[in-house]
C-alpha cells in the first residue's frame, strides 16, 4: 500500500516550493491535507492542485514563528479531519552572506521560522500522535545542517538545530509509536534562493547557478522524504553528492573542514 494513502497530513510552507510538492503528492495519495502558510492566496492555489490530484485540502493561515498560530493550526486540523498521521514542518527561509553582514532582525527572523517553527510544530503535534500510538513528524532540514557551508553560517545553524531536534525526538518518540525523520536536501529547484535575503549579490547568483545545474526536482525530494518517514528512518538525504559530502564530514572531518575553507577563500 502506498505510504500515507488516505491519511490526514499537515504541511507548513504549503504555498509553494517543496511544501506545494509535498501537498500535491499527498493529494495524489488521496490524503486529507491541511495547508498552512502565511500566504493564503498561494496556499489556495496549492489546494486547487491537491483537489485536482483527488485529495482533500483545507487552507489555514499560519505564521509558524508564532506558537499560538501553530496551536490554532492543530485545533483546525482536529476539527476538520482528526489527528494527523503526518506533519511536514517545511516552512523556512534563507539568509545568505557572512554572519557579521546580517542584521539582528534577519538573524532573529531566521531562527524564529526555521527553528522555532519546527520546534513548535513538534511540540504541538507530537502529543496528538502519541495519544494515537502512531504518526510521523517529517522535519525539513538541509545538507547545510550536516556539513560546513561557507557564507551560510546562520542558515546552517538553524538547519543543524533542526537535525539535533529531530535526532533527540526520534529517540524519545520511537518507543511510543511515533517516527521522526529529518529531510536534508542539498539543492532543490524551488524559489528559496530567489526569495532569500542576501548581503552579497554574488552569493545569490552562485546559488541560482547551482540550482540550475545540479538542483533536484521537488518531486524527487518529496519522494525521498516520504519514503524515509514511512520506513521510520531518521535521516533522508536525497542526493548522491549530499550523501558523499556528509560521509566525508563524518569520516574525515579535517579534510571536510579544509575543503570548506578553500571554498570560502574562492568565494571571497
208's grid cell: 541560482
* Nearest residue to 210 via CA among 152, 154, 163, 261: 152
Q: In this structure, how many other beta carbons lie within 10 angstroms of the beta carbon of residue 255?
A: 11
Q: What is the DSSP letter of 11?
A: E
Q: Please compute, for residue 143, the number of CA atoms within 13 A of its CA located in the half-sphere on the CB side.
A: 22
Query: Which run of H or of E encompasses 135?
Result: none
Number of helices followed by number of strands (H, E) in the chain: 10, 9
Burial class (CB in 10 A: 0-12, 13-18, 19+), 147: buried
Cα–Cα dist 31/88, whole Å: 13
- Find all residues with CB under 8 Å of 212, minimum gap 6, and list them: 189
DSSP string, 23-48: HHHHHHTT-EEEEEES-HHHHHHHHH
Beta-carbon contacts of 110 under 8 Å, excluding residues fewer than 6 positions away, are: 93, 95, 102, 154, 155, 158
What Rg do the C-alpha atoms of the chain give, in angstroms? 18
User: Which one is catalytic: 4, 155, 187, 246?
Assistant: 155
155 has catalytic annotation:
yes
Query: Which sequence positions are flagged as catalytic?
Result: 155
Amino acid at each position: 500500500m502506498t505510504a500515507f494513502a488516505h491519511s490526514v497530513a499537515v504541511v507548513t510552507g504549503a504555498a509553494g516550493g517543496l511544501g506545494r510538492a509535498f501537498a500535491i503528492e499527498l493529494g495524489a495519495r488521496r490524503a486529507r491535507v491541511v495547508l498552512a502558510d502565511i500566504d493564503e492566496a498561494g496556499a489556495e492555489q496549492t489546494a486547487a492542485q491537491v483537489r485536482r490530484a483527488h485529495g482533500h485540502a483545507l487552507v489555514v493561515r499560519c505564521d509558524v514563528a508564532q506558537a499560538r498560530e501553530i496551536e490554532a493550526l492543530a485545533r483546525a486540523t482536529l476539527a476538520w479531519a482528526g489527528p494527523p498521521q503526518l506533519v511536514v514542518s517545511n516552512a523556512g527561509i534563507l539568509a545568505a552572506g557572512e554572519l557579521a553582514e546580517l542584521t539582528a532582525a534577519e538573524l532573529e527572523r531566521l531562527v524564529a521560522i526555521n527553528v522555532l517553527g519546527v520546534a513548535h510544530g513538534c511540540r504541538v503535534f507530537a502529543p496528538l500522535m502519541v495519544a494515537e500510538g502512531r504518526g510521523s513528524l517529517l522535519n525539513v532540514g538541509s545538507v547545510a545542517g550536516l556539513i560546513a557551508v561557507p557564507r551560510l553560517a546562520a542558515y546552517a545553524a538553524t538547519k543543524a538545530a533542526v537535525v539535533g531536534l529531530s535526532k533527540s525526538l526520534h529517540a524519545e518518540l520511537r518507543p511510543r509509536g511515533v517516527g521522526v525523520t529529518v529531510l536534508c536536501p542539498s539543492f532543490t529547484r524551488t524559489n528559496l534562493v530567489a526569495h532569500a535575503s542576501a548581503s552579497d549579490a554574488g552569493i545569490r547568483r552562485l546559488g541560482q547557478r547551482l540550482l540550475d545545474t545540479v538542483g533536484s526536482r521537488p518531486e524527487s525530494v518529496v519522494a525521498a522524504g516520504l519514503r524515509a518517514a514511512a520506513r521510520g528512518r531518521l535521516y533522508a538525504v536525497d542526493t548522491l553528492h549530499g550523501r558523499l559530502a556528509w560521509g566525508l564530514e563524518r569520516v574525515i572531518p579535517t579534510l571536510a573542514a579544509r575543503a570548506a575553507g578553500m571554498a570560502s577563500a574562492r568565494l571571497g
